[in-house]
Amino acid sequence: MTIKENISLLPYNTFGLPAKAKIFTEYSSVEELRALLEKYKGEPLLHIGAGSNLLFTKDFDGVILHSAMRRARCVSEDADYVWIEAENGLVLDELIAQLCDMGISGLENLSYIPGEVGASAVQNVGAYGVEAKDVIESVRAVSIADGAERIFSNAECQYGYRDSIFKNSLRGKYIITHVVYRLNKHFEPKLNYGNLSSEVGSNPTPMSVREAVIRIRQQKLPEVSELGSAGSFFKNPVISHEAYETLTRQIRDDRVPHYEQEGGVKIPAAWLIEQCGWKGKSIGGAQCYPKQPLVLVNTGSATADDIVALAAAICKDVQDKFGITISPEVNYI
In sequence order, what DSSP letters do the residues of 229-294 get, joined into one string? EEEE-BPPPEE-HHHHHHHHHHHT-TT---EEETTEEE--HHHHHHHTT-TT-EETTEEE-TT-TT
Task: Round to whole Å and give the CA distance between 266 and 244.
Answer: 9
Catalytic residues: 162, 232, 329
Task: Round to whole Å and give the CA distance between 138 and 157.
Answer: 8
3-state secondary structure of 78: coil
Strands 2-8 and 54-55, bridge-based pairing: unpaired
CA atoms within 13 A on the CB side of 39: 16
